[in-house]
Each structure stands twice: as structure tokens, then as C-alpha cells.
Amino acid sequence: MRFIAIIPARYASTRFPAKPLAMLGGKRVIERVYEQVAGVLDDAVVATDDERIYDAVKAFGGKVEMTSTAHRSGTDRCWEAYQKQGGEFDVVINVQGDEPFIQPQQLLALKACFDNPATDIATLVKPFTADDTIEALENPNSPKVVVDSTMHALYFSRSVIPYLRGVERSEWLKRHTFYKHIGIYGFRTEVLKAVTSLPQSTLEVAESLEQLRWLENGYKIGVGISDVETIGIDTPEDLARAEEFLKTLKL
């Protein structure tokens, strides 16, 4: 199987405009993301809607495609970029352009999900540990996942799932392994094409989670496990934390 990483990178952002072009340890954020994936998968391309990002990727020698400014999601942007890049691949990995610390082992775990022919889409989770706090578990900005016996997703929710009946909340993390969703996806190419034409679903609207649209339409989402906690960059404060984290990697 051949795998390509497509990295959606928009200039406009309510919380952090131009974040793909922000400097992190002497390199732009988008360059660090590109470097993390280009050597692991068969190919990589940035999908952007802005000439400044396009020019920046070209400047460091990366592959990049211009895409429409009208896309509703990174998934739609990925499909347009895939059509334009010209190669033939079995699986498209959607890597967020604000994840400069995505690790090779995470990409390999995602690839392994497609060893199961039943898997249409793949994503990653990280188990919560007994040392995590109940507040971290209940954080609605950190979606949770439950899986079946074949490691396919049953449901994603901003609520805590499952609910442990008859167990004190303070004991939940000691009594059950909860999974935190990590927002990276792989799609069989024909599935990526199909899901971009699906209308929003009722569960997706309720929880504001795009992956529920795919579940509601019968797609099987394989789940790989990662023990790595990456630092995504959504705000300038996240960038400052990433800068400090980068320094620890160099020690």
C-alpha cells in the first residue's frame, strides 16, 4: 500500500492568524510539520489557500498545492489537494498543519490500522492514566472514544464515555481505561472522496465532531493507540509552550 500525507494549512485563524508561518526554533511551524511526516510516508504535500504559505513551503523545498478558500473542513481541502498532486495512493493521511511534534511511531500506528481490510478510516487515541485528573477526563475540548473488540470506534463524545455506574467519580480512572482522541486521520482514497460529499449529520451537529458523520453513514473507523502526547498549536500561548518543549528535545 502507498501512503501520502496531506497537510491542510490555512492562513486565517480566529485564535492565531498566520500560525503555519509562525517561527518555532528557527523554522516555520509548517516546515516542522512537513519534516516530521515526509520521511515516514511515501509522499507529503501541504494543502493551503494562501499564497504566503504556498511560497513559504516552496522556499524550504516542500510540495504544496493551492486549494479553494471555500472548504468547510480540512477533509475537503485534503481531497482537492489529493486530486491535484497527481500521484496514485491507497491511503491519504490528514496531518494537521499545527502539529509540529507528530511522531513517526504515531504515523506507523495509523498505517497499521489499514492492515485490517474492514478499516475505511483510521485515527489514534491515547489512554488516560490513573495519574490524570478527573478534570482532564471531563474536559469537553478533549473528545473521548469507545472501541469494539476489533479496535474500531463505536462512538466519539465530548462527554465521558463510558459512564461507570456505581463507581465514585474519583475512582473512574483507576477502574477503567478511557481513551482520549488524537485528531489525525487516515482515509482509503475512495472513502475520502465519498465522505467529502456527505451532508452534516445529527450527531455531528450535536457534538461538533466531524467523525460522527462518518460513523452515522456506516464507515468503519480503525483506532490505533499512541502513548505520545503531542503539542498542537492553536494560540500564541501554545507556541510559547512548544518553544519550551522544543528546547527539552535538544538536551
pLDDT at residue number 250:
58
Q: Where are the domains of the chain?
A: 1-97, 103-229
DSSP 115: G
| Span 188-236, pLDDT tens digits | 999 999 999 999 999 999 999 999 999 999 999 999 999 987 788 889 9
pLDDT in tens, 95-129: 988 899 999 999 999 999 999 999 999 999 999 99
Whole-angstrom distance, CA of residue 205 vs CA of residue 69: 22
Contact 111, 91 (CB under 8 A): yes
Say what the pTM is: 0.92
Please report the sign of the dihedral spanned by the C-alpha atoms of residue 10, residue 15, residue 18, residue 24: negative
Q: What is the per-residue pLDDT across 49-84, written as a single tens digit (0 to 9) for each?
A: 999 999 999 999 999 999 998 887 889 999 999 999
Question: 77 and 185 in contact (C-beta within 8 Å)?
Answer: no
What dihedral do alpha carbons 94, 71, 97, 55 form, nearest 10°? 120
Of 3.30.2290.10, 3.40.30.10, 1.10.8.60, 3.90.550.10, the CATH number of 103-229 is: 3.90.550.10
Contact 232, 238 (CB under 8 A): yes
What's the pLDDT score for residue 137?
Answer: 97
Sequence-ordered strand ranges (E) for 62-175: 64-66, 91-94, 121-127, 144-147, 153-157
**Whether pLDDT at 35 is above 80:** yes
For the cut 50, the answer to whether the pLDDT of residue 46 exceeds it is yes
Superfamily (CATH H level) for 1-97: Spore Coat Polysaccharide Biosynthesis Protein SpsA; Chain A (3.90.550.10)
In this predicted structure, what is the pLDDT of residue 214?
Answer: 97
Asked if residue 251 has pLDDT above 60, the reply is no
